[in-house]
Structure 1
């Protein structure tokens, strides 16, 4: 009863937490469409500054941009906070379908500190991110290989650096004039409109004006009465101490045939997908072909073995046993460090359940990119609730190994993996905090994560462990001898290290092409949206991990080596090593990270990802081999 009370209290607590962090984005495929009438006020919100060179996000107002009288933070869910999103109001305010030209936002005089801050962000290629009606701001860039075709860059650069007017020294220039384009789809009946696009073209303009500066000042460098952006100055705005910078913007409204339901299509089709799709299909076909051949060989060989062994028993031939049947008295002997194996198997079940349910939600459209932070929020919550399956799986295996202290097993299952990840994450978060980045997790969010762990996940692991321990122990199909059999000397290719390393190649081969696009979306600030293909790749990964582990396990037993428990876990789990090596290759070939802190962050997060991949793939391989050994030893007659 105590467990049930704890579970119900935890359920209430998580509901409160969801309300606090705005977890409505987890349930809805997107925000509800909003209809605007002509003249309605449109508030542009500013988000974080991002850079693919540093991977450290900063708040918009960490730079001395024009500020409203009161900065208001928008409500964000747990995933948004962990991503470093900081959505705030701004001075950029439009009126629906009313173009405005040469609007002055504010005037700023740079001192030594502010000039240095702008230069640093420009040098690190930071981009400014803005949001209008939940649509991110993009810069349309014309493709060089296709006519009348554009791809979109998320956010505009703070500025640029280069040579100007024959000066040999590189100068820094700021983008202080923004030409916005708001695309809308108009309803022919109600005359209301919905926003379907938000674009910008940034300019660096050294603005000039006559007379004294006041609220009604008119600039001589741009025409407020023009229908389109007209700049009367070819001089860019330099970033130097004591320089005056005037921030301005235009806004133009364009009617579009794109409907509100399809407005994200342009954002998601940022890259040429032909190579993407062809590579994935090619990879899947190769893996499926190899898996089919492996399955066919295994089934034929096993059928012949079982038939031979049973025929020998019926004919009562006094012949010495050979192959995998010979080790039937030792094959189910508990392994060394069996408690740790139980912990990792339980954690793998927890991860597997989280990934499977997350992908189902993503395929159904509940976790589309329009839900900022929705994917991460869903994964965290599902990880927490899958704790009940982790406890059940680890304790069931623990009881089969004749374990009796199920509470200790439950505690280890609930603490070991999250504890290691939390330790690495805390070090990385401290580094981010030292850089004063918005990517650092705030104290309140850290408290929420700890509450999710100890307040919900740990009790659920105990509930699962309690239920699992109450179940009858799993019975082995054959009895285990009291004295362990000596393992004969093995061939070089059956060496555990060699066998394990070979076993991880095929599972990694099933995912490495998709991994490229996942890494690109994470580290190069692009959207990932092909969850259908990702789900197929995940299914292929499961099949590949299972089959390669079964094949190598079979060869191991045939060579009379019965220590298969840990090796079955490590065989498919070794694919995580190849994943980390590929991440290292990706770092040096695709990224332009130069700062030490940013490099540490990259390798720290990829280490966590590889560790999680090891746990998932290892558990898949273990259960495949566990099922396989029980199947074959229950199929032969043993006295």
Structure 2
């Protein structure tokens, strides 16, 4: 610490034909080398003359491709000499220092050595350990050639910094521009205001007409127009087909909602520090497991409302359906990574720990929640259900279920897609994403948008005397997951240069899992909003 080193030799490596080919591929694909010092990632400072400041790039490139010394052919040069700069903050009361920055400048140098090779003690003619200049005189870059030796060297310099240890991550977290995030928020708020206006209009019109009816002031024409949703009062709370599956999805959605809400609150308050690698994922998994209690409770409450009696079967489905699908996809993708002998593969011990969490904590909690939910009295419908179902009249083309469901997903996706770009970039291009304040705002906007679009379309559906709203309300806002997956495909082909089949399968496998999770979350929000809305409007109606 605080002892500069010049021209330190790491090793001399002879490059084989295969290694030369691989190195050239890595340089062509702009691969970067990442390092960590005291839990700080390595950055390369890049000066921006247009803005008179410095930006930082995570990791340094393996090498560069270009022409040298008048040669017309492009050649591959490897970065084999690294100049590290370690920034430290000195404690005022003691002589102790803490590392607050880790930068590097990479060079390609064709090293020459005097006399014979003697490992780290070899004297290099291209580099002098006691000179002020790091690389003496002009030098030739090190070309990647099969059968040739490459000598790897480094320098370490230390620089005192005013940056406090507590704020050493600010450089990394300020790599992104806040302006675009504010644009995202404003864009989303415009959608919310538009939808809120529509919901307010529907509510006021509905309530106003009810009052008019009670006071016997309506005209014949108004009476005819308003009968739509009131006509189906005897069927609107009739249990849907596949009601068991709906209960399971709603329970899982509640579990997701709880997990995201708690995780984001912890993140916004600063508990999930970027220095704790994997802390965010660990927190999400643990909170997901604990939220099993609410999943069981929500699914059994809804199941009892649908007059179901087999609470154990609904509990088993809630505990195993979504986690089973997720674990299946994850296991297949992990097996592919294992097959590629990648260090990114999740070890068997971690997989076993995940299964243990699922069976040992999540499943019992779902059962506890289900038992508590089923012990409660059933949720009573505000109006009685007729014994014989009413026939649904022929619907206009724009009220076709497929059309309204697909239209309903556009606005929730539109509210989050700008922020989604940054999330995808942080996951797939290894950039830092720790702007949780923005993310929390976008999450709130997503909840409001999903709820409002589901209510608006549910109201139009009931006005058309179509009372089968249960599944449609779930699918209306849930269809935003389709657009999420399509956007992921667009991102893959426009932003990522992935050529290997396994890498492509990994991307689409994980994005399919993310889209399915998004479907469950947004669908549940839309369904719960519609359930509240229908109960509210039908409880205010006098039925003769």
> TM-score scaled to structure 2, two decimals?
0.95
Shift of 1:492: 1.2
Q: How far off is 1:309 after superposition?
A: 4.2
Match runs of 1:376-525 below 5 Å: 376-525=281-430
- Structure 1 counterpart of 2:87: 183
Q: Is the helix fraction higher in 1 or 2? A: 2
SS of the counterpart of 2:35?
strand
- In structure 2, the residue matched to 1:610 is 515
Q: Which residue in the other structure is 1:566 paired with?
A: 471
1:430, CA displacement in angstroms? 2.3
Maintained 8 Å contact 2:199/2:455 = no
Of 107-116 and 399-408, deviating more is: 107-116
1:540-559 to 2 correspondence within 5 Å? 540-559=445-464
Cα deviation, residue 594, structure 1 = 2.5
Query: Does structure 1 residue 235 correspond to structure 2 residue 140?
Result: yes
* 1:636 Cα deviation from its structure 2 partner: 1.3
In structure 2, the partner of 1:220 is 125
Could you tell me which runs of 5 or more consecutive residues in structure 2 were left unpaired when the two chains were aligned. none
What residue is the counterpart of 1:125 in the other structure?
Answer: 30
Please report how far the alpha carbon of residue 168 of structure 1 lies from its aligned counterpart in structure 2 after TM superposition. Answer: 4.9
Deviations 1:33-52 (A, max 9, x none): xxxxxxxxxxxxxxxxxxxx
Shift of 1:169: 4.6
Larger mean CA deviation between 203-212 and 165-174 belongs to: 165-174
Question: How far has the Cα of 1:161 moved from its partner?
Answer: 2.9
Cα distance in 1 for partners of 2:374, 2:217 equals 37
* Cα drift, residue 307 of structure 1: 1.7
Deviation at residue 435 of structure 1 after TM alignment: 2.1
2:438 corresponds in structure 1 to 533
1:580-639, Cα deviation, whole Å (9 max, x unpaired): 122222222222223232222222211111111111000000000001111111111113
Shift of 1:112: 3.3
Count, aligned residues: 539
Is residue 458–residue 530 contact of structure 2 (8 Å, CA) maintained in 1? yes
Q: Match for 1:164 among 68, 71, 95?
A: 68
Q: Are 1:151 and 1:271, in contact at CA under 8 Å, matched by a contact in 2?
A: no
Determine the structure 1 residue equivalent to 2:104.
200
Shift of the 532–526 alpha-carbon distance from structure 1 to 2, 3 Å rule, reads same
Q: State how far apart, in whole Å, the 1-side matches of 2:516 and 2:508 are.
A: 12
CA deviation after TM superposition for structure 1 residue 200, in Å: 0.4
2:486 aligns with 581
**1:249 equivalent in structure 2:** 154
Q: Which residue of 1 aligns with 2:57?
A: 153
Encode CA deviations 1:269-321: one digit per residue, 9 max, x unaligned: 113332332x123213312321331232122112123224434599xxxx888
- Structure 2 counterparts to residues 271-286 of structure 1, below 5 A: 271-277=176-182, 279-286=183-190
Q: Contact between 1:313 and 1:637, CA under 8 Å: does it hold in 2?
A: no
Aligned match of 2:503: 598
Moved more, 455-464 or 114-123: 114-123
Paired residue for 1:42?
A: none
* Cα offset, 1:233, TM superposition: 4.9
Contact 2:196 2:452 in 1 (8 A): no
C-alpha contact (below 8 Å) 1:207/1:233 kept by paired residues: no
Equivalent position SS for 2:181: helix
- Contact 1:309/1:636 (CA < 8 Å) preserved in 2? no
* Runs of 5+ consecutive residues of structure 1 not aligned to the other structure: 1-95
Distance in structure 1 (CA, Å) of the matches to 2:49 and 2:287: 44
2:462 and 2:217 mapped to 1: Cα distance? 20
How far apart are 1:259 and its partner, in Å?
Answer: 1.2
Q: Tell me how far apart the structure 2 counterparts of residues 441 and 312 of structure 1 sit (CA, whole Å).
A: 69
Q: Distance in 1 between matches of 2:490 and 2:416?
A: 15
1:296 corresponds to:
200
What are the Cα deviations for residues 338-362 of structure 1, in whole angstroms up to 9, with x where unaligned?
0010010000000000000010011
Q: Is the 8 A contact 1:329 1:478 kept in 2?
A: yes
- What is the match of residue 363 of structure 1? 268
Equivalent residue of 1:438, what SS? coil
Distance 1:150 1:370 in 2: 23
Instruction: Describe the SS at the equivalent of 1:322.
Output: helix
The alpha-carbon deviation at position 488 of structure 1 amounts to 0.6
Q: Structure 2: how far apart are the matches of 1:494 and 1:534? A: 34
CA RMSD of aligned residues (A): 2.0
Output the CA distance in 2 between the equivalents of 1:329 and 1:311.
Answer: 23
